[in-house]
Structure 1
């Protein structure tokens, strides 16, 4: 029996149950998202994203850095293509970065309309590029997904049940769990809740389902939900039955801004969690002497 994601307790049940977001909590997937955005953008907008354009003034490296800065507001993969095009003219422009970080819900539809693009078409292009890369150049694709420090060993050693609740597609979470984390998590695993979009709504629904499972039945069992999106945690906290049962944590090592971390620290019912403390929470409890 694999440790971590498939541990089941007999008898009285576990003292703790964890539900973890995947991207931004378990694995840093930003390098892959950005690399896929470059490939998809070059395919869809070849004149804008040709090598001759990107090689000028180290622009590609500047774009990579800018994409990491704006990653906290990205929800769906295709949005990275839009961000990349917005940043193309001047990757270091503070106004563009601020517009993405602070007004993304307005900037995304505005940009799509101005360019005559559709979210559905860009989604098809982006997902096709990712799937082709994952299937035909698997090793290089996997290499862009980096587990956060200590998380792999913490998950492998934890005695507690762990669920994954992610906006990522199930087949990608499954493949990455096996290749990057060394944990078997089939796409149809009852411990995997995937493609949760919009996350504010669907993750709350997943937590409601998980809380009703036998592994969480004891009132003494502590339930923990760790995510790197403050909006998701705030949405969960607004549901009384979830707020009463779940301990909520914002992963400060994930895709969030300094302003969001400061806001989380002020929010009742949400704890700002550091990576070292997260790994410690997953550790087996000390044995009684």
Structure 2
């Protein structure tokens, strides 16, 4: 009868250690189900050991370094804020340009088309007020491919051109937009919070994450704190040392934040893995361009966030950047690794031949 050798461990599994490098044990009847159980058990034990190590390292009384530290962008990684930004843009635009966006100016169909177009161009938005400009540019024809491509492809040129053409200023539009958002957030809190949607599984993954976690966001600190409490159920005060907010421009300021975090005693050990997850490829490129950051930080592009298919394809070719799916992200937060990818449990030749 064909048999499969079940592997017994001689000690705890470590990251990168192959399952088939362990001591061999008894012979049992070969069956595909047995092989699958062997692989599954290996991964589960690996994850449990990594989690227990992280918890032990995080304990105040322990001298051992933590195994992993995470820095996460907020919008586009943890929470989908696009519905709120677009809704705020409509309200602010109705005040600034009542003839175009005021009561009765738009049909329900046109509003729906504009909302869909705004989601399409969200990847290039950096500052909140820019959503007002995008909305007005898209007003004539939300489905115009030329306009959509112009915004996505050369927003840095289209934005100042539109402001100059309309006689508007960044300062005035920004002041109005932030005023509308703050009034909505404080005066109609429940409806404002309802427009901020955590990505699937992220809330549970964050609550179950045994590793130190920081937030690095271009969003204002008081908004991140309020959303963390109301939407995620997490306590992250605006003055928390774990929160780096209002990071604009993001390329420069997030690199500075990573440098600051990486210099803290928590991250001092060379064995500590530092993870940075963002949905903007330009931000990741800016970090990768700093040699001391590139040498220490694992960089991930969140493929569920505000980026385009072209950016995801480019990221896949980018040295030092890994494209991460949402399920992989949730696993990474829980275990410090992605099961079946970097857990060290590669299939043996027997398992490959068995098709498991």
Report if TM-score (shorter chain) is over 0.5. yes
Deviations 1:165-215 (A, max 9, x none): 000000000000000000000000000000000000000000000000111
Residue 351 of structure 2 is matched in structure 1 by none
In structure 2, the residue corresponding to 1:23 is in which secondary structure? coil
**Shift, 1:16, TM fit:** 0.4
**Structure number with higher relative contact order (C-alpha < 8 Å, ≥ 6 residues apart):** 1
1:35 matched to 2:87: yes
In structure 1, the residue corresponding to 2:275 is in which secondary structure? strand
In structure 2, the residue corresponding to 1:163 is in which secondary structure? strand
**Shift, 1:217, TM fit:** 1.0
1:262 matched to 2:313: yes
Could you tell me whether the CA contact under 8 Å between 2:68 and 2:336 is conserved in 1? no
Which of 166, 174, 177 in structure 2 is aligned with 1:126?
A: 177
**Shift, 1:51, TM fit:** 3.2
Which of 10, 15, 26 in structure 1 is aligned with 2:78?
A: 26
Q: Which runs of 4+ in 1 moved over 3 A?
A: none
Residue 277 of structure 1 is matched in structure 2 by 328
Which of 149, 159, 163 in structure 1 is aligned with 2:214?
A: 163
Bigger Rg, structure 1 or 2: 2
Deviations 1:253-282 (A, max 9, x none): 000000000000001100000000000011
In structure 2, the residue corresponding to 1:188 is in which secondary structure? coil
Q: How does 1:191-230 map to 2 (within 5 A)?
A: 191-230=242-281
Deviations 1:37-74 (A, max 9, x none): 00000011000102322116x10000000000000000
Could you tell me whether the CA contact under 8 Å between 1:157 and 1:284 is conserved in 2? no
In structure 1, the residue corresponding to 2:180 is in which secondary structure? helix
In structure 2, the residue corresponding to 1:223 is in which secondary structure? strand
Structure 2 stretches lacking a partner, 5+ long:
1-56, 338-356
Residue 97 of structure 1 is matched in structure 2 by 148
C-alpha distance in structure 2 between counterparts of 1:8 and 1:152, whole Å: 21
Structure 1 stretches lacking a partner, 5+ long:
1-6
Output the TM-score relative to the length of structure 2.
0.77
Could you tell me whether the CA contact under 8 Å between 1:78 and 1:122 is conserved in 2? yes
Residue 185 of structure 1 is matched in structure 2 by 236
C-alpha distance in structure 1 between counterparts of 2:166 and 2:279, whole Å: 31
Could you tell me whether the CA contact under 8 Å between 2:250 and 2:283 is conserved in 1? yes
Residue 55 of structure 1 is matched in structure 2 by 107
Could you tell me whether the CA contact under 8 Å between 1:229 and 1:256 is conserved in 2? yes
Which of 116, 121, 128 in structure 2 is aligned with 1:70?
A: 121
Residue 3 of structure 1 is matched in structure 2 by none
Output the TM-score relative to the length of structure 1.
0.95
C-alpha distance in structure 2 between counterparts of 1:118 and 1:129, whole Å: 17
Residue 66 of structure 2 is matched in structure 1 by 14
Aligned length: 279
- Give the 3 Å change call, closer, same or farther, for CA 164–52 of structure 1 in structure 2: same
**Shift, 1:284, TM fit:** 4.0
Root-mean-square deviation (Å):
1.2
Could you tell me whether the CA contact under 8 Å between 2:220 and 2:245 is conserved in 1? yes
